[in-house]
């Protein structure tokens, strides 16, 4: 399991990045509480597999993802453990517009409760609180 922590990104923004990781390597990536967890059960997974200079290597491939998402000016990926990374916001000025747009709180219709972790909508506060607990169990 590879984890990428970031306290500078919302769950929605992390979900975009998780999707890009999923598409790039064909692995499962999910978002939970300020981090992306990448399931690397695959034996030829990029972290252990190809060498540092290969595009398939996790760190190199992730840099390419950041370039495509235009995040490479604003963020740096810091390695904090063998399979632990941290995504740090280093330059507020370089934030890409898609990030600013997804960061803005959406105006919710009346009677709609939104999960702060995954953005799912509920028409009832009780249903939302039951759902929210799931994020802590997983």
Distance separating the N- and C-terminal Cα atoms of the chain: 14
Q: Is the dihedral of CA 49, 51, 52, 54 positive or negative?
A: negative
Contacts with Zn ion by CB under 5 A lie at 115, 117-118, 120
The smaller minimum CB distance to Zn ion, of residues 92 and 137, is found at 137
- In the complex with Zn ion, which residue's Cβ is closer, 28 or 115? 115
Query: Please, what is the minimum distance in Å from the beta carbon of residue 70 to Zn ion?
Result: 27
Q: Which residues of 84-93 are buried (b: 16+ CB within 10 A; e: fewer)?
A: ebbbebeeee
Least CB distance from residue 118 to Zn ion, whole Å? 3
Distances (CA, A) of 42 to 23, 39, 46: 15, 8, 9
Is the CB of 90 or the CB of 116 nearer to Zn ion? 116
CB of 120 to Zn ion, least distance (A): 5
- Cα(20)–Cα(50) distance, rounded to whole angstroms? 19
* Closer by beta carbon to Zn ion, 90 or else 134: 134
Q: In the complex, what is the shortest distance from the CB of residue 128 to Zn ion, in angstroms, rounded to a whole number?
A: 8
Q: How many CB atoms lie within 10 A of CB 26?
A: 9
């Amino acid at each position: 399991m590879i984890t990428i922590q970031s306290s500078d990104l919302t769950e929605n923004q992390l979900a975009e990045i998780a999707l890009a990781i999923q598409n790039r390597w064909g692995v499962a990536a999910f978002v939970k509480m300020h981090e992306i967890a990448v399931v690397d059960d695959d034996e030829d997974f990029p972290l252990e597999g190809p060498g540092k200079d290969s595009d398939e290597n996790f760190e190199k491939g992730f840099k390419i993802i950041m370039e495509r998402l235009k995040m490479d000016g604003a963020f740096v990926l810091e390695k904090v453990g063998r399979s632990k990374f941290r995504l740090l916001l280093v330059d507020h000025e370089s934030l890409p517009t898609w990030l600013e747009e997804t960061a803005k709180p959406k105006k919710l219709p009346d009677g709609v409760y939104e999960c702060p972790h995954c953005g799912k909508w509920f028409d009832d506060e009780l249903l939302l609180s039951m759902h929210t607990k799931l994020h802590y169990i997983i």
